Amino acid sequence: MRYHVLTSPDASTYLFARRSGNPVEVESLIKMRGDGPELNQTFVDGLRDELAEIRASYPDGLNQKDANLFEARAARAVHEGVPHHTELLADPDFWIWLAVAHFGEIVE
């Protein structure tokens, strides 16, 4: 299976540029990994909606206790929502791609 990845150095480049007001198109840094058919990314939209719903349950922001609860709930949603392919789940660059390219507003 082929899937998108974003390496740690490329993610750092993107985030630094974004924070400094000189955004780089994240798509220009994304690479493909693996062989065969491409991963169906339809899971991303549902996961985005679920994470937004979890985040909305903390309208006053996240103090330390709430941040820990949010992270626990979000981790469960992510691990239930991502397709269960061993190669994918074991690849840290896939997780970086997912976090930075799709959930940057939640992660930061």
pLDDT in tens, 10-57: 999 999 998 999 888 999 999 999 999 999 999 999 999 999 999 999
What is the per-residue burial (b if ≥16 Cβ within 10 Å, else e) of 39-57? beeeebeebeebbeebeee
- Domain ranges in the chain are 1-39+85-108, 41-82
How many helices (H) and strands (E) the chain has is answered by 6, 2
Q: What is the model's pTM?
A: 0.88
What value does the mean pLDDT take over residues 62-72? Answer: 89
Tell me the two tokens of residue 25.
Answer: 């198109």
Task: Grade residue 69 by pLDDT with cuts at 50, 70 and 90.
Answer: very high
Alpha-carbon distance of 72 to 45, in angstroms, equals 20
Alpha-carbon distance of 53 to 36, in angstroms, equals 34
Q: How many residues does the chain have?
A: 108
